[in-house]
Amino acid sequence: MSDLLERRLQREIKARKQAETILEQKALELYQSNLKLQKLNEHLEATVAERTKELQESEARFKTLVESAGDIIYNASPSGKFTYANPVTERLLGYTTDEILQMHYLDLVREDMREEVQRYYGEAVKSMRKATYYEFPVVTKDGEVRWLGQTAQIDFKGKDPVMITAVARDISALKQVQEALEASENKYRGIIQNMELGLVEVDQQGKVIFANSWFCEMTGYSVEELKQSDLEKLLLTAEGVEKMRNRNEKRKDGEAEVYEIQLRRKDERLIWVTISGAPFYNPSGKMIGSVGIHLDITNQKKLQNDLLRAKEVAEKARQAEKEFLAHMSHEIRTPLNAVVGMANLLGTTQLNADQREYVNDIQYAGDILHGLISEVLDISKIESGEVEMVPSELNVNDVLSMVCKTMEHRAKERFNTINYKVDKSVPVNILADRNFVNQILLNLIGNAVKFTENGSINVDVSYRPNKEDKGSLIVSVADTGIGIEQAKLQKIFEPYKQEKDNFTQSKHGGTGLGLSIVKQLVKIHGGSIDVFSKKGKGSSFTFSLSIGMAKGEFRDWNDQEKSEENYAELEGKQILVAEDSYLNQKYIKGLLKQWGVECQFASDGQQAIAEAKKTKYDIILMDMQMPLINGYEATQEIRNNQKNPNCRTPILALTASALLDEKEKALGVGMDGHLTKPFTPDQLLNYLILHLGKSKRGLSMEAQEVIFSTLSLPDGIDANALSDFYGKDIEYALNMIGIFLRLLDKQYKVAVELLKENDLHGLKSWFHKQSPGLKMLGIVDLSNKYSQIELKIKAGSITKEEQKEIPKLVHEFAQQEEKLKQLKQILLNYTEND
């Protein structure tokens, strides 16, 4: 038992020692933990102190930043009462901080905007939007209105707002700019609207961004319909799609332009509009779309089309009038030419006194009839703009002498005398239009003779210099005749107006066109005409013409005397006469027989071509109006056949039409001159001597080949082509250049209109028409280009790149004007020095 107790005691002692050991270890661990905790506590206190200091410093910096900010910064309670406001609030709004802290934010908002502002922030709280931006006006303490742009941050606890922090910037200046801009936009939108202009803005894809109400009314679509649709498909016709796409391409290059196009309305009705289109850009300068202003020109277009149709009708009427005049001219002049011509031939035979008197009467009546016909045709030509002024060298004294001699016989019949005097100041030779001068003098002197009996007609000529080589020729024609009443002086220059009563009308007759023609011719020649008259005492007409100074001596073919030398120049020449009138054939044959000229006759154009192929003639006289083939067609056939022995033979047009376009048409087909029926023996003789004399004095065939190649021609003019067409005939070349230059501007405008309409078919015809003319003028390269582009259009094989070159080719046509003027001057200089 004692052993048992001993063992139990030992176990308890051992257990106690173990417990003490464990207790000592735990005490050591606790001590160590306390040491660590003490150190950690010391570090934490230091960190807290450091963080507290940093926070204090940060708060101080934030406070400084807030209080020195340029914007209003404030805090407000959920109810809207201010709890804090930085000092700038006082500077911008005029209220002190204490005053602000007593206010609700709505107290500052302009009264008319309070409900709207309250609604906005109420919705923000309701939808729990933490961040908002809103602009609204406030009223400062002194009553000034300022606009604020406010960014507000709303703090929530759950669903309830706990605090509002806001930054409000003064945007009054920006708002004024915006309002001014809006006012300006509204102003111009209003102007466009009041001007009934449709405004539409589209993006780069062609989608509508904006369309004003007038554009909607113009097209019949609403803004929503326009925005949901492709405008190209919605509004454009098939013809307009390609045109619009071309315009849009140009717009991408920054081009603004104005053009016309058709639009299809919602009700399928087509309207015409003029569009002024331009690109618009974002602030960085990138193009983001285009804007178009549309003007409805449907009514104007209809009016324009009506005017064009009216113009076409008028032109057809005018053409019909011209054709009628040409026809009547031919029908009257052809037999008249035979009557007058046969009378002239009869006058060259042995006649007794009575026969001589009868022949003179026939000639006198023929002259009167010729004058009446000429006056009617002349006034028609002048009024239709068919008269051109062609200055040439002439001798004033010789021209005046010839006119006075022409009127001398008629004057003697009325027991009048004609006197003329040329002042020493008048240059011997001048540059003026011979036909104008002759016609003016013949009319005035003829009138003076007609209205004067047992009196005198006095013609005085003087000169007034203007510039070094320019001046005015002043001519006075005075008579001692019946005179004109003062009340009727102003009307005598009007067509078909005569100073007449029953006595003068029955005694003197006339068309009443002579003085009207005189006034028009004087005006075209750069001058003026005045009249002074006293009833029963006579009249005095004074006119001036703008003239130039001629250089050197010259031969006047119209005034040359009929000498043996002139006849000798024609002797043995062979002439082909294409004339369908038997009487005219006899007249011409009689004249040519007198001059020793051999002639062959053809009664129509077909015979003329056949005769021209068989025999080489020195000259061809070609009537224009013949059966089967007319003179124009016959001349073209002869000229275009290089194998024809007469392809370069001078061809003179014999025509009963005195219209200018007939003359141009004759020159255009290759004729060398134009002689109007009825013609006198002297006129025909002069024409023959002029052209045959040129041939006689001309160069050899070898020299002909090199005339143009020896000249310094403008770049782009082919000398070989000129030689092929004209040989040595520079006068013919000058005629062709003159015709082309007169028509150039008109033809260019036609092409420009075709370009505007993108009318390829019309351009094809235009290129076809211009190519031969250019080649005849030596402009071979451009002629070939025109032919090539014409063929490509015709074959439908023209590419888009080639189409883009067409405007350039058309522009080149206009550029030929200066080149041809240079060529004309070079040829003129050559003829003067030859």
* pLDDT tens digits, 650-660: 888 887 555 55
Residue 497, pLDDT above cutoff 70: no
337: confidence class by pLDDT, cuts 50, 70, 90: low
Domain co-membership, 164 together with 80: yes
Which pLDDT score, from 0 to 100, does residue 698 have? 36
Residue 106, pLDDT above cutoff 80: yes
What average pLDDT score do residues 412-430 get? 87
Which pLDDT score, from 0 to 100, does residue 433 have? 80
Which of the two residues, 143 and 699, has the higher pLDDT score? 143
Which pLDDT score, from 0 to 100, does residue 390 have? 67
Residue type, 51: R
Among 125, 155, 170, residue at a domain's last position: 170
Q: Are 528 and 522 in contact (CB under 8 A)?
A: yes
Domain co-membership, 188 together with 154: no
Q: What own/partner pairs with CB < 8 Å and gap ≥ 24 does 142-150 have?
A: 142/94, 145/110, 145/172, 146/92, 146/93, 146/170, 146/172, 147/171, 147/172, 147/174, 147/175, 148/72
Domain membership flag for residue 205: yes
What average pLDDT score do residues 611-618 get? 91
What average pLDDT score do residues 680-708 get? 58
Domain membership flag for residue 534: yes
Closest by CA to 475, choosing from 542, 409, 425, 569, is 542
Residue 429, pLDDT above cutoff 80: yes
Among 296, 315, 336, residue at a domain's last position: 296
Each residue's pLDDT tens digit, 452-487: 999 999 999 999 888 767 889 999 999 999 888 877
Domain co-membership, 415 together with 553: yes
Tokens of 732: 């013919």
554: confidence class by pLDDT, cuts 50, 70, 90: very low
Residue 706, pLDDT above cutoff 60: no
Which of the two residues, 699 and 786, has the higher pLDDT score? 786
Closest by CA to 96, choosing from 87, 108, 107, is 87
Burial of residue 727 (number of CB atoms within 10 Å: 0-12, 13-18, 19+): buried
Which pLDDT score, from 0 to 100, does residue 459 have? 93
Domain membership flag for residue 387: no
Helix 719-726 with 760-776: angle, nearest 10 deg = 80
Q: Are 578 and 607 in contact (CB under 8 A)?
A: yes
Residues spanned by the domain of 10: 1-68
Mean pLDDT of all residues belonging to the chain: 77
Distance of CA 398 to CAs 390, 421, 488, Å?
A: 19, 12, 34
Bridge-partner residues for 472, per DSSP?
Answer: 464, 546
543: confidence class by pLDDT, cuts 50, 70, 90: very high
What average pLDDT score do residues 693-708 get? 45
Residue positions counted in the chain: 834
CA atoms in the 13 A half-sphere facing the CB of 197:
17
Residue indicated by tokens 């005694």: 507
The highest-confidence range among 22-36, 397-411, 523-537, 766-780, by mean pLDDT, is: 523-537
Q: How far apart are CA 619 and CA 575, in angstroms?
A: 5
Which pLDDT score, from 0 to 100, does residue 573 have? 87
Q: Which residues contact 267 (CB under 8 A, 6 or more apart)?
A: 220
Domain co-membership, 256 together with 211: yes
613: confidence class by pLDDT, cuts 50, 70, 90: very high
Tally of domains within the chain: 5
Domain co-membership, 52 together with 85: no
Domain co-membership, 113 together with 187: no
Which pLDDT score, from 0 to 100, does residue 384 have? 54
Which pLDDT score, from 0 to 100, does residue 703 have? 37
Among 49, 68, 87, residue at a domain's last position: 68
Domain co-membership, 55 together with 95: no
Domain co-membership, 474 together with 432: yes
What average pLDDT score do residues 788-800 get? 82
Confidence (pTM): 0.37
Residue 763, pLDDT above cutoff 60: yes
Q: Which CATH number goes with the domain that contains 105?
A: 3.30.450.20
Which of the two residues, 760 and 369, has the higher pLDDT score? 760
Three-state DSSP at 392 gives strand
Q: Is 125 left (phi over 0), alpha (psi -120 to 50) or beta?
A: alpha
Residue 728, pLDDT above cutoff 70: no
Q: Are 262 and 271 in contact (CB under 8 A)?
A: yes
What average pLDDT score do residues 291-319 get? 81
Which pLDDT score, from 0 to 100, does residue 329 have? 60
What average pLDDT score do residues 87-116 get? 87
Which of the two residues, 418 and 366, has the higher pLDDT score? 418
